[in-house]
Amino acid sequence: MDDLDLRHQLPGGLEQLFADPSVERSLSTPLPDGDLVWPDPGYPQRQLVRRPAFWLSDDPVSGELWAQLRAEHPTSGLWPLLMDESAQPWAAGQVAPEPVEDIANYAPDAFMYEVWADWVEQATEEDLEDLAPFGAHCPGTAPPASLVDDPGAVADRHARTLARRGLSLALVAVSRGADALTAVGWQGALNHNEWTAPLSAVVRGWEDRFGARVVGLGFNTLELSVAAPPVTSRHALHVAAEHWAFCPDILFQGPGTLAGYAEEIRGRTWWSFWWD
């Protein structure tokens, strides 16, 4: 076997993560000990295809390793995630992967309008004041912002910060980070939205408009790096409205008003979300 053949081998059975394992993929970065995570057959599943959801390291990893694997994503097809296991172990397989192809069926603006309309039906006048200046009127998705740095470089820096928490590493077979939420079968926002594919569609939009990259996942948390954050109060307010539709808890369990939350994210190069 020559060097070229060795270069195209994926270690640890990682080819099983792909729908088409015959495609040549390369990974030169050495991996720590780990194993494939299969969805628990006793857990409600949403994808008929039987294959592992992701690969997971046995122990915490460094941010440097995450950055090396992110750089190899174009040739490996594997997106790295820093996995917080403080709430429950990911290796238990209590995940429900959905077909990644379903993500294309959803539009971020349509998702936002639907969430907003459903909430307005039950909102009081005081509730509407919390979403000032928009109130009952959904503003739609915000315009893009200008890059302050390379998205990969910003993601690497955020990964180094998150890795200090002692997080495990997952590798997911997706063409872009936003799709990893759906591919791994993450259920963190289940109480807010029954399906994960629409949330991946929203994050795809943030990748395109704000240079966002998916860096980490927890049982009910999501960590993104942001290379093109909103820098004006007006733009941040519009982006904050999107965040609220995506994850209402960040507002109602946070500053309480859209304006207050907007000031928190203005110019910030990471976005953190959590759901109850």
Q: What residue spans define the domains of the chain?
A: 3-97+148-226
Strands 34-37 and 54-57: antiparallel
CA terminus-to-terminus distance, the chain? 52
pLDDT digits (tens, 9 = 90+) for 213-229: 999 999 999 999 999 99
CA pair distance 14, 12, nearest whole angstrom: 5
CA pair distance 213, 159, nearest whole angstrom: 10
| Residue type (1 letter), 232 | T
Q: What share of the chain is helix, strand, coil (3-state, %, to 5)?
A: 40, 15, 45
Q: Over 70: is that where the pLDDT of 121 sits?
A: yes
Give me the pLDDT at residue 23, please. 87
∠ at Cα 70 (228, 3), nearest 5°?
150
Q: How many CB atoms lie within 10 A of CB 139?
A: 15
Q: How many CB atoms lie within 10 A of CB 20?
A: 8
pLDDT-derived band at 160 (thresholds 50, 70, 90) equals very high
Give me the pLDDT at residue 48, please. 64
pTM of the entire predicted model: 0.94
Q: How far is CA 252 from the centre of its chain?
A: 21
Quick one: 228 exposed, middle or buried, by C-beta within 10 A (0-12, 13-18, 19+)?
buried
Mean pLDDT, the chain, whole residue set: 92
Nearest one of 162, 268, 164 to 214, comparing CA atoms: 162
- Compute CA distances 25 → 1, 72, 80, 178, 227, whole Å: 16, 10, 15, 20, 28
Residue 35 forms beta bridges with which residues?
56
Q: How far is CA 238 from the centre of its chain?
A: 20
pLDDT-derived band at 133 (thresholds 50, 70, 90) equals very high
| 233-246 vs 108-122: helix crossing angle, rounded to 10 | 80
pLDDT digits (tens, 9 = 90+) for 164-181: 999 999 999 999 999 999
Write out 5-55 in H/E/C secondary structure.
HHHCCCHHHHHHHCCCCCCCCCCCCCCCCEEEECCCCCCCCCCCCCCCCEE
